[in-house]
Amino acid sequence: MASAASRSTQLILLISTCSFLLPLSLDAQETNNKTVASPPPQTTFNFNFSNPSSYNLKRDLRLQGDASQNGSLIDVNIDNGLGRSTGRMSYNYPVRFYDDTTMANFSTHFTFEIVPVEPYPGDGMAFFLSGYPSMMGDGGGNLGLYSTNSTPFVAVEFDTYQNEWDHDNRHVGIDISSIISSNTTTLPNNLTLKGTMAATITFDSITGLLVASLLFHDHPSIEPIVVSYKLRDPKSLLPRDVAVGFCGSTGVNVERHHILTWSFNSTFSAPTPPKGHRSIILVIAVVAPILALFICGIVSFKYIKRHRKGKGSQEDEALIWVVRSSEFTVYDFLQVLEATNNFSEENKLGQGGFGPVYKGRFHDGLEIAVKRLASHSGQGFREFKNEIELIAKLQHTNLVRLLGCCSQGDERLLIYEYMSNKSLDFYIFDEIRRALLDWNKRLAIIEGISQGVLYLHKHSRLRVIHRDLKASNILLDHNMNPKISDFGLAKIFSLTDTEGNTKRIVGTYGYMAPEYASEGLFSIKSDVFSLGVLILEIISGKRTSSFHQYGDFINLLGHAWQLWKDGLWLQLVDTAIDAECHTLQMGRCINIALLCAQENAVDRPNMSEVVAMLTSDSMVLPEPKHPAYFHVRVGIEETSDVVQPSSTADVTISSLHGRSDNIVDYSGSKDETNETTVPASGQERLIIQHCKAYQHLQTVHMCLCTTSCCNSSVDVSGNTPGREPTPAVSNRGPVTTNFR
């Protein structure tokens, strides 16, 4: 007699066979009886207006208003000396956008030129899809695109004048039947929409995503300006047949809009064949394989349960949903393995707080940086998913670009654009390489980092607090432009929220704001504090914590504050910099850094104020108040430069204004007085130990942070990524400080 398992197997085989044979039989009969409809007509053209043989002006193009051919280009507007010029150029034939069964994918690429007439250029131009035939819109700020009688349109605008509905005068935006953009991307500072540019615009009918990217021929080192928007119901936005083309206008302000080349390509997938008349067979064909899979699942449930963790399955599903809603690639693990030469040591770029980073190269020549999250690191699936969700929503020239991800078993990989000049700490803390960063480059790096943080705090779709700004998390591209990286610890807020609270304090010692390190309170001002410390490091070429460099002080912040008070701040400047030519700028930057690092969060400037102070030499700077941790001193008689890892001396910190609540016990064991004796070790990091709070006095045993530890992220709730916490102690004896 056959066993129950055998009968189940036979049943599965029978149903599976039917599930495959029925669709095959149905497909064969449908092929005999029906003819599958052809896809709609596609549109493809490629015009180079400097080559008359590539187009026929009267046959291919429709010029309206002031648009005209001007030698080797199409002039959308004329400069008549009076302004108020409006023109439009479009393809002379209708372009099929959709039919009853399918919708077009399209891509267009064009090179164009905006020639401003100084001193006040305006208003801008746009690429559009609208009803056919094309109808002129109003001039001025309407860009020849919109009027009260205009037909529905979808457009990408290149706006050069700030009207009352615009938030700036240099942006790329996506417009949906309105001159008020549905989404915009502002150009970086000191960059305007002028000169020769190249734009690519694509539409994916499956995702509904419209994406526009812009390159500047005069600034090849600047990354593409990208703006995107999801068209929720494209068929409700545009008619079946559309006109495609360009429009532009001027008001009182004047500029010229030239189209140099233009290519366009639309494609359709084959339409879905019509339904057959035998609906019962269709139902069986669909249900049978599902039923077979269901039975297979029941039979193999126990086996799967023993060999796979339920948590992993949930994580995979969560990742799938993140990826589906994002705009990057999911890479195959074997593909990444090959690109990095099996994660070889030769390809290793460095060791981050959550795992190593490797250089890789795909077959198409694309260079990548792969962040391989260690399975024993503090960054689990939550941080992995957080980093993907977050970076997918962020687009700024001073943020590192996430290309994609990979998750297979315990392997979790983040694939970033490769930064050829590694990270900032690779230069500023190296005796030889630091000379490559003169003052102008350092100032540009400071301003770039500040612009990136400002974007995170104010201009991104969500308010983002990074929580781990430090030199090793600032990457440098081939032009030494800074890019903020490592968003595994970042927190997302709505635009109306500015702070949060956590019991899981994570970050890097030396960069953490006092309210965050002691109470778990983090806010946009926490990032400002970290930026202040980072600016001091960039100016001085010294790490924030290093015993032998700061005399009486155990950190850079205290040392900088003392020099500032004594009027000797120039001594803080890196000797590799020629300080004589830029003394005023250096002094302002140190002043700004100390303003950022003030002890009380309310006293610190926000990032808008920081950027304003950095970019305006005429702005009067306030005098900074004392920073946090500035009283941390080492006795003069104990300022030996040598740190003995085997020392067992306790380090004591006294606070004259202690709180009534207890500090968390992070490591070690309690004695009868609720104080912790910390064993000596070679581990170099700062760990605040357990203490008992008294009314006006706290005694805290602290392991002092030395050079290497302050470059790695530490979870002070008890978890150090990648390693078990082993506190280290200085041999310098008691240290006394005031936390005010």
Give the whole-angstrom CA distance, residue 726 versus residue 504.
19
CB 48 within 8 A of CB 56: no
CA distances from 264 to 43, 91, 109, 145 (A): 7, 10, 7, 20
CB 91 within 8 A of CB 243: yes
Helix (H) or strand (E) holding 89: strand 86-91
Give the whole-angstrom CA distance, residue 495 versus residue 508.
26
CA distances from 103 to 97, 129, 619 (A): 6, 14, 55
Helices assigned H by DSSP within 567-677: 583-596, 607-615
Region for residue 195 given its phi and psi (left: phi exceeds 0; alpha: psi -120 to 50; beta: otherwise): left
Give the whole-angstrom CA distance, residue 390 versus residue 378.
18
Residue type, 497: D
Give the whole-angstrom CA distance, residue 260 versus residue 179.
25
- Kindly give the pairing relationship between strand 402-408 and strand 329-330: parallel
Give the whole-angstrom CA distance, residue 542 versus residue 431.
10
Beta bridge partners of 265: 44, 107
Closest CA to 600 of 564, 632, 624: 624
Q: If DSSP codes are grouped into helix, strand and coil, which group holds residue 246? A: strand
What is the DSSP-derived secondary structure letter of residue 711? G
E strands in 644-740:
652-655, 687-688, 698-703, 714-715
User: How far is C-alpha 527 from the chain's CA centre?
Assistant: 16
Q: If DSSP codes are grouped into helix, strand and coil, which group holds residue 112? A: strand
CB 504 within 8 A of CB 386: no
241 catalytically annotated: no
Give the whole-angstrom CA distance, residue 295 versus residue 288.
11
Q: Read off the tokens for 364.
A: 């198409």
The one catalytic residue among 468, 527, 574, 715: 468
Which residue in the block uniquely carries the two structure tokens 């070679």?
682
Q: Read off the tokens for 151.
A: 């037909």
Give the whole-angstrom CA distance, residue 709 versus residue 353.
10
Give the whole-angstrom CA distance, residue 527 versus residue 521.
12
The dihedral over CA atoms of 128, 131, 135, 140, expressed in degrees to the nearest 10, equals -40
Which residue in the block uniquely carries the two structure tokens 């000396």?
81
Catalytically active residues are: 468
